[in-house]
Amino acid sequence: MGQISIVLIAGLVFLLSAEPSPARGEINQLLTLMVTVAVMVLPAILVYFLGSCAARTLPTNPSDRVRQLYLLKRATIVFECLVLIGYICDIYLLNLPVLIHQKLGWLALTYTRQILAIIPLIVGMMLIRLAFYEIDRKVQRHDWKRSEFLSFHLKFLLFPLLPLFAYIALLDLIEHLPMSVKAFFAERIYISVALMTLLILFVYIYAPLLLSFIWRTAPLTDANLRARLHRLALRDRIKYKNIVVWQTKSLAIANAAVAGIAPWSRQIFLTDALIKYFPDDEIEAIVAHEFGHVRYRHMLTYLLFSLTYFLGYSLFYIYVGQPIESILPQSSILSSLGVLVFFFIYFVILFRYLSRRFEHQADLYAVSLTGNPEAFQSALNRLAYLNYIPRSIRRLLEIFQTHPSIDRRIECIDQLKAGDPSALRYQDYLLEVKLLLASLPVLVGILFFSDLSKLG
């Protein structure tokens, strides 16, 4: 799931749960337009001027400077929340979705028309990122192209939402089916869960194809490096389809990734900056880390984690959401807050905790597979330097990260070299994974019998 924007998710939840009615009165189109523009633009202006003032007081020490810039960037979440608050006012007080329905009445896709109302929130969030880009360019004096920066951030912002957009398209398709068929779908909650499950499965299988739309890819042309990585994979029988190079161009991002839960679709991604600035032994260690994700079936676990969310939320809605709606039928804001609390705990707290554990496990696997811990630790330090990542992060802030801090990852490798039992436990499947596997059939059974009881 990566770095899902909780602000964007919150906006979608409020948008899809709100049911503003044209009966509330005539919509003041000019007022709605003015407020919407203000919601999109003003927070970005605040980010630019306040950030520019903060940038003048940055420390001269390079590592402290990077850390302060990182914290400044993380603080932009406050301004994104301002955009979200204004956007919620647009929805509930100014009937923005109704206005969009009226203007796009020619589009015979009800749910698609509704979700198009999310555009002002996306624009506001992108303007905040653009404001920080302008500040960062002055401070770091990097050569990032503005168009490539915006394209990259927009694609990564929307990429985790692809299953939702596909699901919206399916709902529009169902809407045009006969009434008897629509009633059949509406009365059986497990059908909706099954549809979303198939969409998510498709995304996890064909993730390499989808990721190629974020950055253009090219085959790895270095024959010696390609052969070296292939021999590395053979040591533990790691299977993959291909190794490709992401073209990050002026952004010069040094990174690697693995995608595709099926061996016949799986690809290893290396960025062009990684190939350019890292020696072969460090690249080998980084790719061994990606092989660790394959070896311990982390992608399959993420798939099960995503499916368990939909099962868990379906039960949450049956036993918590519906009773609340029966008591407070007009409180769509309250029900939206309940959805967000569930989502935040599941995908921000629990998922990212699991992700950090997986990163440690893949790190230690890479060290064991290559037998070269020094190369991997050196690669981590180089990644921090080239990507402007602070080496250390406070534990409170690390809770919201998918990766542990660089210093903590290096410390964990040192513990493995010293034979510390706290590091050796990562060499087996984690307890969290075993609990997840055990919970999935239980949730399926509870949901199935809950649906049967409602039908009875």
Q: What's the pLDDT score for residue 2? A: 47
Give the mean pLDDT of 9-31: 76
Q: What percent of the chain has pLDDT over 90?
A: 37
Q: What's the pLDDT score for residue 3? A: 61
Q: What's the pLDDT score for residue 1? A: 43
pLDDT of residue 26 exceeding 80 = no
- The more confident residue out of 444 and 222 is 222
Q: What's the pLDDT score for residue 189? A: 56
Q: What's the pLDDT score for residue 141? A: 65
pLDDT of residue 56 exceeding 50 = yes
| Band of residue 165 on the pLDDT scale cut at 50, 70, 90 | confident
| Band of residue 456 on the pLDDT scale cut at 50, 70, 90 | very low
Best mean pLDDT range from 195-209, 225-239, 394-408, 420-434: 225-239
Q: Where are the domains of the chain?
A: 6-159, 210-299+351-455
| Band of residue 407 on the pLDDT scale cut at 50, 70, 90 | very high
Q: What percent of the chain has pLDDT over 70?
A: 90
Q: What's the pLDDT score for residue 108? A: 73
Q: What's the pLDDT score for residue 21? A: 52
The pLDDT tens digits of the residues spanning 321-365 come to: 777 767 766 666 777 888 888 889 888 888 999 999 999 999 999
**Among 3.30.2010.10, 3.40.190.10, 2.40.50.140, 2.40.50.70, what is the CATH number of 210-299+351-455?**
3.30.2010.10
Whole-model pTM: value is 0.87
How far apart are alpha carbons 450 and 456 in whole angstroms? Answer: 10
Q: What's the pLDDT score for residue 191? A: 66
Q: What's the pLDDT score for residue 275? A: 95
Rounded to a whole number of angstroms, the distance between the first and last alpha carbons of the chain is: 37
Angle, CA 320 vertex, CA 322 and CA 168 arms, to 5°: 60
Q: Are 17 and 104 in contact (CB under 8 A)?
A: no
pLDDT of residue 25 exceeding 70 = no
The pLDDT tens digits of the residues spanning 103-115 come to: 777 777 777 888 8
| Band of residue 412 on the pLDDT scale cut at 50, 70, 90 | very high
The pLDDT tens digits of the residues spanning 167-213 come to: 788 777 777 766 665 565 555 556 666 777 788 888 899 889 888 87
- The more confident residue out of 73 and 284 is 284
Mean pLDDT of the chain: 84
